Structure formats: C-alpha cells, structure tokens
Structure 1
C-alpha cells in the first residue's frame, strides 16, 4: 500500500466534507488534495526527489498534514523533528539525515540562521507559518499558489516514508526508518484489534506529530475518512474546548495529559460526551490515574497501546478489559493480527508464560533499521526479531505485561526490583502527584531503591510515610530505601521521565 491512498478514496467518497480543522481554518477534502498536489510540485521544483528526506520543524497544524502527504506524493521521506530539542540536537538530526529542505513555522523561524550555520547541506527553508516569510525563506502559501498540481507517484511498499529520531534518553538520537509497509501493517493490526476509530469520526491531534503514536492516530482517521482537528500544543482548556466545539470522537493522550485533564478546574464546564475512544500510552500509567480517567470520561473506552518508534503499535488492551478490571487491567493486551510477540531469555530462547525476559517482536510492522547505523541496526534486529529493550512477561492466554525497561531494573541485595511496580504502588498514595523510581549505588546493597516524588499542591508527606505506604502494597525489599521530593520530574518531548537525568543528579549517601 502507499500512504497517499486515503486521499484518493476520500476524494471519491466525500470531496466536500471537512478533512482538516486548525484554528479558524477548515479545509475540505477537495481543497486538501489540490493543495497536496501543488505542494508536491513545488517540492520537486526545489529539487526534492524520491528517497530524499524533507525536514519538518513545526508545531501540529493542517500544514503538517499537507506536508507529510505531499512528501509521500513524490516518494520522499518525511523527517519531523522534535520541537522540544535544542538547536544543537536539531542540527545533529538534520545533518545525520542529510535533509536539504526544511519546513519551519513561526515558532521556529528564529532558529533558522543558527541551523543554516550548523547544517552545510541545508539549502532551502520553507516558512509555513501565518506571517510573512522571513528573509531567505520561501513562503509556503506562495509555493502552493504558484505551482501546478502533479500526479501522485503512488510510492509505497518498502520505500522509506518516515525518519523519526528516538528521544535521545541514552546517547545520541538514532533515526528510525519506517516504510510505507511497516506503518500500514502496524496500523491495520491495531485498528483491527481496537476498532477505536469511527468511519467519518473526528480525531483530535494534540500529541506532537514527531511521535509515532501521534502519526498512527492521525493516519488512522485519515484511513477511515473523517475530520482531523489540530492543536499546536496541549493545554487542558484548549483540549476541552476543542472536544466540545468539534464533537471529537477519538484522541490519544499520554498519562501526564490525562492527569492534567482530570485535575483541571474547568472540566465540568465542557461537554465531552462525544469522546468514545481514548488511547493512552507513551509512559507508565498508574491504576489510580486510570480509574480517575475512566470516571472523568465515562462515555469513552480506554485502550492502552504498547510499542516504540521502531515497531509502531504492537498490541492493545480492549475496552472490555478495563470495564471488567482485575489483573488484566495492567496488561497491555495481546498481539494484534499483524504482529508476533515473544519474551526471550538472555540466550535468545523463548521463555514460558509467567517468566520475565526481553520483549521481542517480528512482522512487517518492524522498522527498516537505523539511518546510517548498521551496527546499531544489527544489535536491535537479531535472528529475525526486533529486540525492544523492555522487560515483560506473557500469561497463559498471550496477554503481555510490561514490567520495566531492562536498563531500569534494579538489583538490590541480589533481588530484582522493577521500578514500574514500585512507581505504581507509590502513585496510589493520595499525596503523590507523580514519581520516578531508580537504582542508585549503595555500599551495602549494590543498588538501593530510590524514589523521587512530586507531591500534589497543598498536600504533605514525609519520606517515612511514603515508605510505609509502599510496604503496605509491595514486598519490603521493593519499597524505596530513600525518598527525595522534587517540584517537577524531567521529561522528554514524549512525556517519558528521563531517568538518566535523575540517576546523574548528585545526592547524599543513604544513612
């Protein structure tokens, strides 16, 4: 399949239906397809050819939607950049991918002089903001207006569609190469398993489109036909207003977003009854937060997707599992119809149900590899399996339970402690807003379990109270031996807590 196919289908089925909404701009399918064909023509005139990479450094908008599709229209690869990175990190990714054309909006136009100085191959910058194009940049709307539409090249299969750079939580970011086939395979499997996108529905795109989960959510609605509403940034008030105004049916959220919505004082002032499906993921979510979310949005089904940039969505947790509750509420579900999953031991052999090992997967959904990094690719793709670096177990019915990142497992006094389990226990304390658990060096135990806790506004708790609470829910050796309190936790653009930063922070020895 080729990723521009849904445009042709939508043009045939509903040419005048609204396809995109961004602020006060609403564009029909007919308008979007015409603009995509013209932008594709303009990119060709700028020298972009099949297999080239085109950088995109913007917040979410309808123009990003058009840019992705125009890039695929001519067989090039979209290279969305992490909007939370520093200019040095952005320059690294542009140089690594070899992108010669970059699209920027008003929020990032100020970085262009520095990026030009750092990126010798960057020859053309297109300004896709609302204001006039700064000096030395081409104006997005002018390019579309002055270009003649070109036919869709219908590039697909194993052709490179996306380069998404990993968050860089350990070492330099790696460019994950995703083909048309791998994105479609991942999406087809997850959509069959979840059935969470309505034909003709409305998806709210608020997670940044440099994140694989956001790309999957955006493209799933495009496949089914319907309307895509874009928010440049997540703000709880803007989210609630958009859901009410546009009768949004589907969205994805990361746990920090869910928590902000549940605690927002204006929540009860908005009609959110149109929401029928919320997919959450990207970071660990506690049972406590999930229960609060289900009470906050009672008309919505909740689905948890497990995956990573290298794999897309691997498996899902259906709505009925959450309604029933019980042990499987903590599962991330079973492998989707297009995916195979296994839990492997250190020697690469499959482990039986109940045993914790490394989660691995294989199928067409898996990445092509890491851009320009054959050794890293070979380490990740071994013996036909994509090795995720996550620790987990399967039950007798094939439900997957993710227990931790392998590198986040703590070995204290010879016992394995999974930080996610401890964090889930701490999150149940009424004073805890968020927390992270890490292993820190300890002369007696090798490593000790250490918790960094952010308290809810107006609430108090002592370290000993936190420890006592944890011991009431988990074994004593798993409870944090030391606790520190912080105002915030460092997070990546995807909302994942940067435990590397916490481990590197200076702290006194245990007493």
Structure 2
C-alpha cells in the first residue's frame, strides 16, 4: 500500500483493531483508539498555541505515553518533533531552543523561554476540544534530534526524510503487529526512531521510565516481546544478574535483540550469543545523520568476530589515513562514509555545518579498519584515542577488559597529561561492591599488553554511562585535570 503521513498512522491501526494495546508504561495502557483520539485533541491544543505545518516542536518529556502522544500530535499538524532530555538544565535547554527556534516547547514551565509558548510535563488539553480526525498533513522532516555527543553549542540533526511511512512495510528486522520493549531514553535517536517505527507497524510499545536489568527481563517475558534494542551497558548489567535470575524469565518470544550506540566487548557479545542463540543477536553501526550504516547478524559475527558488519546497500564506506589516502584492508584509519543518494541527502544540521572531504565523504569520528571481505571493525573514536609514550591506545579496548572483571558495572579510561609519556592511562571504575586493585591488575595482565594497563585507578560511586550507553570521556578528563590544578 502507499505510504501514509505519520499523523494518519494511529487511525489506520485503530480502524483494524481499536481495542488492541498501543502503548504501555508502568502498568498503564492506552488502546489504539484511545491513542488516536487523545493525539487528535492534543494536536488541536498545540495548534491553538501556535504550532503550524513545517514548525519544530521541542519535546522535553520523560519516557512515557505522553512522549508518544506529543510526537504524534506534532506530526498530525505537519510539524517535526525535536526531542530533548527532560532533565536538561535550563541553560542547556535555552541553547537548544535558540538554535531550533521551535513554535512550542513541551515539558517546560510557562514563560521559561521568553515569547516561545511552553507547556509543562502534566499539560492536558481542554476536554472540550474535538477528538475527531484532523486534515491530513505531511511533515517535511520526520525528526530532529540533538547530537548525543556534542559539546558547547548544540547541534540539531534534522532528518531529510519526510513523515511518510508504509504501515505494511517491515523495517530493520521489525515485523507488523508485534510487541516491542523500549528500555532506553526516548530523547536519544535510537530508542526514538526504532520505537516510532514500531508504532507505524502496529506494534504494542512497552516503554520503561528508566532501564532496570531485571525489570527488562520481566517485561520481555510478561508481554511476549518480539523485538528489543539495547546498548552494551544494558547488556552488561543484565549479564551481571545472578544466573538464576536470568533463567527464571521466559524469553522464547524474543526474536531480535539489536544492540548499538557503543562498542560491545567481544566476550559480552559471545555470552549473549550463547544465551539467546546467534540468530537473535544483531548489531547496527551508524550515526544519527544516516550517511551510512552497517548491520551484522550473530551468525556473521561468529565468522568475523569483532566486526560491526558490511556497509548497507544504501551507502559506501572507506578507511582514510592521516595523509588523506584510502587505506588497504587491515590498516587502521578514520572511517568515512557517504550515501549512494549523494552527500547531504539524508540530513542537515541546525547550529553546525557538516565536515566533508573531497568527494562528499563524511566521518562521525570513529577509527577502524576493514578486512578483505569488506567487514568493518571499529577501534575507537578519534577524539578519545590516547597517545602514551608514542603508542596509540584505544580506551574501548581497555574498558572492555576492565568490564569483564567480576563486580564491575562500567568503566571509563582516559589519558591524563604526563611530562614524560605525554599521557598516562587512568581508569575510572564503577564497582558498587568496592574494588580489589591488585586482583584487577592481575586480571588485566592476562588480557592486555603491559603498556595498555592503566597506571592509576579510581573508584566511582555512580554509573559512568547514561541509559543510552553514552560516555563523555572528554568531560571526565577535564574534571580530573582541573582537580589536579
């Protein structure tokens, strides 16, 4: 069938089964018919506040049914949702609003952004507003998330794809009329995009407020979930549960566990493949800008351990050296990619300009290499690499070894300035039960060459990665350099 405007999707699925669950959050469920009617009324409220076709609407709501309602109300007006964290400090939110110039901010106190209308988290539209269908409108751009790793002035990544989706066209291993669990923060591109696609396919979306390892397993079992997206941090925390806890939940309905957003240690991926079976474990690599992506199944990964897959048929990739030359197989350099539709066709920035080299190739800052079969292997982000005593050290490799130590929840490896070596390797370790440094050093000695073992360790008292698996090593490094001074 032809693609439908996103705003029409709720009515499409409600007409087929109005009482089927649309979205569940913390025990509350809205049906497809309820979701359609509620978003119609909310769209009219937004229109009365000044939202017009083509506008951006900044949405700073926590995970929940209200987040989805805000997005679909926005699409019903032909506008574009611009998701942000509900926990952003006022100054950070102000900087994003300045760049985005939205016609409405959802999730902020009235008057928080000058003349820009704001509604708070608990906003409810006037019940006298009609919940009937609205005139059909198509959003020119379907989403506009902020960059997950940007610092300083915010960068908004506007997808150039319009708000049109075919509800009968499965995407990215997602099938029609299934159940999908969303344990990640919806303001991040991955959870946002995959779960919205899930809604277009008539999936029952089960969303959590925050990630919890055992609760994730419980919900996967209770709702007979078909598809879930995790990040390696979540995978690690689930794997750290006692075996008897993992074993008591029925995951037989889970068809796809997709992971992305950060490098996954090989040992952890192998454990998950042993647990779920290779056909159910998938991995995606790519940026929010969507210039290119790779996908690898568990079966492929076992044949190409450590790889994130081959470039998708929609793009091309190459490895570039410091001199700008394309490198041969197995030589490490910066990963560049471009869509077959041409540079600049998949996105545009607000608040920044894209950085391209000759031919329209772009990099998202990752270092890696390709084998003779065209499989990509990632080393680390270029900006995170540590140069110590003339050797290049990739933090992700060291962190993977630390995270394999019993009792470690997460870790961050950074380089601290050193007059002799240039940098020394420092590890920040999140281990709730405490840290036996001697035992950890012995563990690392079995896994890493000596010069890669951190010279110093620091015990953290809170998680180092957020719920999306993001880690800001540059900020951690700056804090410690400042403390030294």
TM-score scaled by structure 1? Answer: 0.82
Matches within 5 A, 1:275-424: 275-297=254-276, 301-311=280-290, 314-322=293-301, 325=302, 328-363=304-339, 367-371=346-350, 373=351, 376-379=352-355, 383-424=359-400
Note the 1:226-245 alignment, pairs <5 A. 226-245=203-222
Q: How does 1:81-120 map to 2 (within 5 A)?
A: 81-104=84-107, 112=109, 116-117=111-112, 119-120=113-114
2:117 equivalent in structure 1: 123
Cα–Cα, structure 1 residues 497 and 384, in superposed 2: closer, same or farther, change >3 Å? same
**Structure 2 counterpart SS, 1:337:** coil
Question: Counterpart of 1:161 in 2: which secondary structure?
Answer: coil
Choose between structure 1 and 2: higher helix proportion: 1
> Which runs of 5 or more structure 2 residues have no equivalent in the other structure?
none
Per the alignment, residue 132 of structure 1 pairs with none
Pairing 1:139–2:124 present: yes
Match of 1:172 in 2: 153
Distance (Å, rounded) in 2 between the aligned partners of 1:177 and 1:408 = 26
Q: Equivalents in 2 of 1:456, 1:183: separation in Å? A: 46
Distance 1:90 1:384 in 2: 32
> In 1, Cα distance between the equivalents of 2:442 and 2:121?
54
Q: Please state how far the C-alpha of 1:403 moved relative to its aligned partner.
A: 0.7
Residue in 2 that maps onto 1:108:
none
Q: State the Cα distance separating 1:173 from its structure 2 match.
A: 2.5
Whole-Å separation in 2 of the counterparts to 1:342 and 1:4: 38
Kept in 2: contact 1:439–1:503 (CA 8 A): yes
* The one of 437, 443, 464 aligned to 1:490: 464
| Offset at residue 231 of structure 1 (A) | 1.8
Instruction: Please point out which of 140, 144, 151 is paired with 2:135.
Output: 151
Contact (CA 8 Å) 1:100, 1:121: kept in 2 or not? no
1:217 aligns with 2:194: yes
Cα separation, partners in 2 of 1:120 and 1:264, compared to 1, 3 Å: same
In the alignment, what sits opposite 1:133?
A: none
Residues 487, 294 of structure 1: alpha-carbon distance in 2 compared, 3 angstrom cutoff:
farther
Cα deviation, 1:9-43, whole Å, max 9, x if unaligned, reads: 53565455333223444334344334334433332
Instruction: Tell me the SS of whatever aligns to 2:355.
Output: helix
Contact 1:440 1:503 in 2 (8 A): yes
Give the stretch that moved more between structures: 77-86 or 382-391. 382-391
- Following superposition, the deviation at residue 459 of structure 1 comes to 5.8
Is the CA contact 2:25–2:64 (under 8 Å) kept in the aligned structure 1?
A: yes
Separation (CA, whole Å) in 1 of partners of 2:480 and 2:30: 52
**1:314-371 C-alpha deviation (Å, 9 max, x unpaired):** 111213135xx35x23111112232322222345443222122221222259652221
Structure-2 residue corresponding to 1:107: none
In 2 relative to 1, CA 275–493 (structure 1 residues): closer, same or farther, beyond 3 Å?
A: closer
User: Is the Cα contact below 8 Å between 1:310 and 1:366 reproduced in 2?
Assistant: no
C-alpha change, 1:223 and 1:474, in structure 2 (3 Å) is: same
* 2:182 paired with 1:205: yes
Unaligned runs of at least 5 residues, structure 1? 105-110, 130-137
Does structure 1 conserve the Cα–Cα contact (< 8 Å) formed by 2:411 and 2:464? Answer: no
User: Does residue 251 in structure 1 map to residue 203 in structure 2?
Assistant: no
- Counterpart CA distance in 1 for 2:345 and 2:128 is 35
Distance 1:509 1:278 in 2: 41
In the alignment, what sits opposite 2:447?
A: 473
**Is contact 2:38–2:131 with CA below 8 Å preserved after alignment?**
no
Partners of 1:153 and 1:176 lie apart in 2 by 22
**What's the secondary structure of 1:377's corresponding residue?**
coil
What's the CA shift for 1:227?
1.4
**SS state of the match for residue 135, structure 2?**
coil
Indicate which of 395, 415, 423 corresponds to 1:439: 415
- In the TM superposition, residue 244 of structure 1 has moved relative to its aligned partner by 2.3
8 Å contact kept, 2:141–2:162: no
Partners of 1:147 and 1:42 lie apart in 2 by 11
Residues 1:183 and 1:80: Cα distance change in structure 2 (over 3 Å):
farther
Residue 33 to residue 381, structure 1, CA distance change in 2 (3 Å): farther
Shift of 1:492: 4.3
More off after superposition, 337-346 vs 380-389? 380-389
SS in 2 for 1:333: strand
Equivalent position to 2:424, from 448, 473, 476: 448
- Could you tell me how far 1:211 is from its partner in structure 2? 0.8
**Aligned-CA RMSD value:** 3.2
1:458 positional shift: 6.1
**Residues in 1 aligned to 2:457 and 2:143: alpha-carbon distance in whole angstroms:** 42
Distance 1:180 1:381, change over 3 A: farther
Shift of 1:406: 0.2
Residue in structure 1 matched with residue 405 of structure 2 by the alignment: 429
1:404 CA displacement: 0.5
Quote the residue 1:134 is aligned against. none
Given the superposition, is the C-alpha separation of residues 448 and 98 from structure 1 closer, same or farther in structure 2, using an over 3 Å criterion? same
